[in-house]
Each structure stands twice: as structure tokens, then as C-alpha cells.
Structure 1
Amino acid sequence: MKQITLFILLVLVTACGSSKKVIESSKPTEKVEKDVVEKSEVEIIPEAPYETEEIIDIPDNYNPNQIIKPDSLGFHQDLTKHTFDSLDDFWTNFLQKNVSDNGNVNYESFRKDFKGLQYYIKFLQDSLPNNNASKEQKLAYWINAYNALTIDLILRNYPIKSIKDIDKPWDQRLWKFGEKWLNLNDIEHQILRKMDEPRIHFAIVCASFSCPKLQNKAFTASNLEAQLTEATKDFLADSDRNEISQNNLRLSKIFKWFAKDFKTDGSLIDFLNKYTEVEISSKAKKSFKDYNWDLND
């Protein structure tokens, strides 16, 4: 009888221990399920067309001449001999020689004036805005820099049919500003977009047909508001990039990729209505046009 009693007690103790293990092992499962629910509630923001990386330092022994040999391009002009009232005047003169009023870029002409472009980029690298610079000064500086560096990138790989023919075009850190080597992603996502000015998307140009047109004047702090407004209105009125009516929108994918940038002061419709002649309904149907990455020449 004692043996039977001991056996029953042993079974009960074993069962209790097993139950405890089952209960304990079930707790992580509950936590995992909770984590999954919480993660599913996070808003998914549309990705940009290219990845963003943190700005990093490049080793001192990095040699950009391994990528480009400008002396082999055969320039016919040296714009460093010209005199201009300011760096902005230099860039405006340079753009008007090589970019049409419609934003078409003559890369062959730019290629012949490559030394002038390098001269301008060198000046930019040596004149970073300091902490006392206004927001307008910083915006104008980095917009001009982005556009100049994009042209530089194209010329380093020219002739090409699309910027996407270049391996990771937005990730190549080819230009040193201060102590940092930057790429186009750094300037767009880590600098310009963090300045809370959505209209920069119509001022910086990725050398493609569906991008906004490249303005053939330098952006300046004193005229920045008018220039950004004009660039935005021009882009929205261009039926190749956007088709806008009261109840239907066929928009550039810029408005999809960077959707949150246009919602900082209301909805996307609110933003569009500030810069279009059409009064768009808040219930307008919205779709996005295919993006043409052909070179903007």
C-alpha cells in the first residue's frame, strides 16, 4: 500500500513540474505574438527609389583619380580664367551655356567645359555654410551642390543613356565636404530633407526625363522662396510629369516615394492646391505615372 501511495505522489510531482514547464514555455510565445501585433500596427512609409546610408568617413588613402581622369577628356575652355561677381553668377553663367530653358541638358557641351564644373565644385567644397548661415543659405547651397554633383557623376560615366546605367549612382562617395566624403543620397536624405522644405524635390534633379527640369539659374538665398515656388508650379503644370484635374490625379512617383514630406502641413491635396490653378477635390482619385529614367538631354 505504501508503495502505491509513493507511486501516486511521484506521478503528481512529475505532472506538476511538467505543467509548470508548459506554462513557462508558453510565456515567450505570448510575448512573440504581442510583438507581432505591435509591429503590424507600425505605419509603413513608402521607400525612396534608392537606399539611404549614414555619412561615413573615407580612408585618407582614397584616391578619386582612380575613378576619373579629367585630363583625358580634352576640354576646349577653362572657365577659371573668367571673372564673376559671385559664385552664384558663375554657376548661372555655366548653366545657361549648357541647359535649355526647358531643362534639357547638353552633356556634350558640359563635357567640354568639365574644368569649369570642377572649378565650381572645388569652390563649393571650400565654402561650406557655417552654423550662422540662414536656412535659405543652406538650402540654396545644397540644392546647387546636389545638381552640380549629379552632372559631375554623369560626366564621369558619359556617354550613358540613363543614370541607372551607373553602378549604385546615389551611393558613390566621390566628393569631400569638410571632413566627410558625401554621396548624393547623403545630401538629399541626410541634409536637404531634414530641413523640412518639401519643395526641394522640384529643385534637385536626378538627370532623368521624369525628374523636374534642371533650372538654368543658380538657386540663391535671396530669391529662394520665389525660385522654389516657380519650380513647384512648373513641375505640377507639366503634363509629362503630372496630370491634374478636379477629381483625378495622375502624379509623379515623387509624391509616392516621399509622401510624408508633403503632409507636414496638411494632406497631399492641401499641398497641391497651393501650387495648381485647378481646385482639386479632397476626394479626387489618385494614381502614379511610370517614371522615365532616360537621361534628361
Structure 2
Amino acid sequence: MKTQLFTGYLRCIIGLLLITLSMSTKAISSTFDHSHALLNQVLNRHVVVFDNQRKSAVDYQAIANQPKRLDDYLAQLSAVTPTQYASWSFDQQLAFLINAYNAFTIKLITDNIQAFNRGEAQSIRDLGSFFTSPWEQSFFKLLGKQRSLDWLEHKKIRVDFNEPRIHFALVCAAVSCPKLRSEAYQASQLNEQLENQTRLFLSDRDKNGIDETGIYLSKIFKWYGDDFNGIHTFLRHYSDALTDSASDAKSLTHSKLPIRYTDYNWALNTTGVN
């Protein structure tokens, strides 16, 4: 009899613990703003989109002059714990990481805005040192540890997510990068945003297209070719974005056109630069 009572009590305790754990997990998950409202405010105000939505430029000086919104958003990102992150959906996690990469990149530029103003830096690459590139510098906290942009892209996003379209969403503050959107990525519309971003990037004729020699592409496809599981196969899904003519689209579909890669312009994607 005592054994049965003990077993019953034990089951009740375990049940209560499970309920408490579940409620705690939900509470933790709900504390982060998955609308990324603060980042939305920064991007809406300081990103200028042009060339039929294909390109954008950033007013880094204005952000540097009034950094509170960006700093508050970055503080929100840094406060997220690994446990909290693990409780989120796939799309919530990926939107969080993409926004983190773009927001901390903006922070790197604005923290060094005087170097650009003095002409000591022309691109993000000039912010590195003899020993480390700017992408290797662990200058921010994320998921409980000091992190670098390289960690975010190469050891987290590319490892945990089989999603080649992220290469058109991660923006490293250069003219030849895909455009920085004037809105944050959100889980509720992440697929649509990534699809739109991919099509806009491929339809930018300064970076990608088809001419008499074959296909010309951004070096992003060269650097991350393995992520696309066959570049020609990937491009066939976007033939309408890559080319403006039906004959070129047909050629892309039925043959492997030769590929060449365009020069990459690392100049800062600041307002006034085309």
C-alpha cells in the first residue's frame, strides 16, 4: 500500500515538474520579440532602396549619430540564451541569425564610422588587423558566448540550415553584396522574404545575367558553390529572374551554359554610392 502511494505521489510530482518546465519554456520563448521591431525601425529609417528594389544603400552616419535603437536591439539579441533559442521554431531561429548577422555588421561599420570619414577605410575589409579579418573578430555576444561574424555565417547558419538562399540575405556592407532589405526578416514570412531576395539579386544585371558568352554571376556563387547543390540546377529554378528573354531562359533550361564570375566591389554600401 505504501509503495502504491509513493508511486502515485512520484507520478504527481513528475507531472507537475513537466507542466512547470513546459510553462517555463513557453514563457522564455515569448519574451523575445520575434517581430524584430527595433531592427525594423532602424532599417525602415536608414536604408534607401533603389533600382526597382534591386539595390540599397545605408545611412551609416545617421545610425552612428543616433545609435540607441540599434544598440537596444543588439542587447535583445545578446540576452537570448541557448535554451531559449533551442525552444524556437526553425524559421524563428534562422530569422534571428540572419538579422543578427546584418545588425552586428551595421554595428561594426558605425563603430568605425570615423575611420571612413577620415578616409582611412573604404570598405569593411579595412576594419581588420594584420592577424584577423573583420569577420574573425569576436566583438559581440550571442547565445552565451563572444562571437564573430564568421562564426555566425560559417559555423552556425551554414552548418545548421540547408538553405542556399541565405547567401542573398546576409549582407556584409559592400556594394556588390545583395541589398540590405529595409525590413527585418521575420519567421512568419521568412520563405517569402528569402524567395523575393533571391529573385531581386538574380535580376540585378550589374551582378548576374546571361549574355553572348554565357552566364555571368556574382562571386558569391563561386565562394559558396557547394551550398547550391549544383549551380546550374539552382539557376534553372530562377530562369525568369536571371534572364530577360525567353530564348535565354530556354538555353538555361536545356544546356549547361559556361559560367564566369564578375568582379566584387567591396566599397561601402553607404548612401550616395551606386
TM-score normalised by structure 1 residue count: 0.67
One of 127, 134, 153 as aligned partner of 1:166: 127
Residue type at the aligned position of 2:93? K
CA shift, 1:269, in A, is 1.2
Q: Contact 2:46 / 2:59 at 8 angstroms: preserved in 1?
A: yes
Q: Contact 1:247 / 1:283 at 8 angstroms: preserved in 2?
A: no
Q: Which one has a larger percent helix, Structure 1 or Structure 2?
A: 2
Q: Which residue of 1 aligns with 2:178?
A: 212
Residue type at the aligned position of 2:164? P
- Give the fraction of aligned pairs with identical amino acids, expressed as a percent: 40
CA shift, 1:244, in A, is 2.6
CA distance in 1, matches of 2:85, 2:172: 26
Instruction: Give 3-state SS (helix, strand or coil) of 2:36's partner.
Output: helix
Instruction: From the superposition, tell whether residues 269 and 177 of structure 1 become closer, same or farther in structure 2 (CA, over 3 Å).
Output: same
Q: Which residue of 2 aligns with 1:109?
A: 62
CA shift, 1:245, in A, is 5.1
CA distance in 2, matches of 1:246, 1:284: 10
One of 101, 117, 121 as aligned partner of 2:74: 121
CA shift, 1:222, in A, is 0.7
CA distance in 2, matches of 1:203, 1:246: 29
Instruction: From the superposition, tell whether residues 200 and 230 of structure 1 become closer, same or farther in structure 2 (CA, over 3 Å).
Output: same
1:282 and 2:255 matched? yes
Q: Which residue of 2 aligns with 1:137?
A: 92
CA distance in 1, matches of 2:257, 2:154: 30
Instruction: From the superposition, tell whether residues 107 and 284 of structure 1 become closer, same or farther in structure 2 (CA, over 3 Å).
Output: same
CA shift, 1:283, in A, is 2.0
Residue type at the aligned position of 1:89? A
CA distance in 1, matches of 2:202, 2:143: 36
CA shift, 1:243, in A, is 2.1
Q: Which residue of 1 aligns with 2:166?
A: 200
Task: Map Cα deviations across residues 214-258 of structure 1 (whole Å, 9 max, x no partner).
Answer: 011010001000000000000000011112359711100000000
Instruction: Give 3-state SS (helix, strand or coil) of 1:208's partner.
Output: coil
Residue type at the aligned position of 2:57? N
Task: Map Cα deviations across residues 189-214 of structure 1 (whole Å, 9 max, x no partner).
Answer: 01111111010000010000010000
Q: Contact 1:229 / 1:275 at 8 angstroms: preserved in 2?
A: no
Instruction: From the superposition, tell whether residues 153 and 241 of structure 1 become closer, same or farther in structure 2 (CA, over 3 Å).
Output: same
One of 221, 242, 262 as aligned partner of 2:208: 242
One of 190, 199, 202 as aligned partner of 2:155: 190
Residue type at the aligned position of 1:262? F
Give 1 or 2 for the bigger CA radius of gyration.
1
Residue type at the aligned position of 1:274? H
Residue type at the aligned position of 1:166? L
Unaligned residue ranges in structure 1 (runs of 5+): 1-84
CA distance in 2, matches of 1:91, 1:161: 25
CA distance in 1, matches of 2:269, 2:74: 21
CA distance in 1, matches of 2:236, 2:176: 21
Instruction: Give 3-state SS (helix, strand or coil) of 1:223's partner.
Output: helix
Task: Map Cα deviations across residues 157-202 of structure 1 (whole Å, 9 max, x no partner).
Answer: 1123201111121011011123311000000001111111010000
